[in-house]
Amino acid sequence: MNRFSSTVLTLRRLLSELALSGRLLTTEELGRLSDTVPHLMYVVSVLSAHPNGQAIISISGDDIQPGAQLLMDNRLVEARGSPQKGLFVFMATWIGNQYPQSRGIVNSDDTADETTAITLNGSDDHVNSNNNSNHGGNGNGNSRGKP
């Protein structure tokens, strides 16, 4: 076993014991070591015009696993998700008037990614786009230098 594969195995074993911030950083490092990890490209959220309504969160990305859990502002959210036409789509109850600043996922293998490259669509057709970078990345919503 070479040094890199040993490092990858060690990092993977640690994932489940880490807080979310540690999982995000460890997932980034696994990606740098060429391991298969989730990579979010963008998120479109369709929010109810009414507090306590339904939200549809569509995530475009690579290596999102079935059973992935939704993150909003670094917190796991109770939501049903499934792959649909190249996206991973979550249905969640939307509580409150504040729009989350970040969205992400935690895969069943405990790898995680998040982004602030979010387009918000309200049911009243009001559109608000937020295209900041995550994790100090390059401004395209990811931190791995990918377009």
Question: Is residue 25, in this structure, part of any structural domain at all?
Answer: no
Please tell me the pTM assigned to this model: 0.77
Angle at the Cα of 23 from the Cα atoms of 107 and 133, rounded to 5 degrees: 90
Question: Is residue 15, in this structure, part of any structural domain at all?
Answer: no
Question: Is residue 122, in this structure, part of any structural domain at all?
Answer: yes
Question: Is residue 98, in this structure, part of any structural domain at all?
Answer: yes
Q: What is the DSSP string of 55-121?
A: EEEEEEEESPPTT-EEEETTEEE-EEEEEETTEEEEEEEE-SSPPPS-EEEE-TTS-EEEE-EEEEE
Question: Is residue 146, in this structure, part of any structural domain at all?
Answer: no
Instruction: Give the CATH number, domain containing residue 91.
Output: 2.60.40
Whole-number pLDDT of residue 23: 97
For tokens 């999982």, name the residue: 23
| Model confidence pLDDT, tens digit, residues 45-103 | 888 777 677 889 999 999 999 999 999 888 898 898 999 988 999 998 877 666 778 89
> Can you give the residue range of the structural domain that contains 46?
38-131
Work out how many domains the chain is built from and give that number. Answer: 1
Question: Is residue 118, in this structure, part of any structural domain at all?
Answer: yes
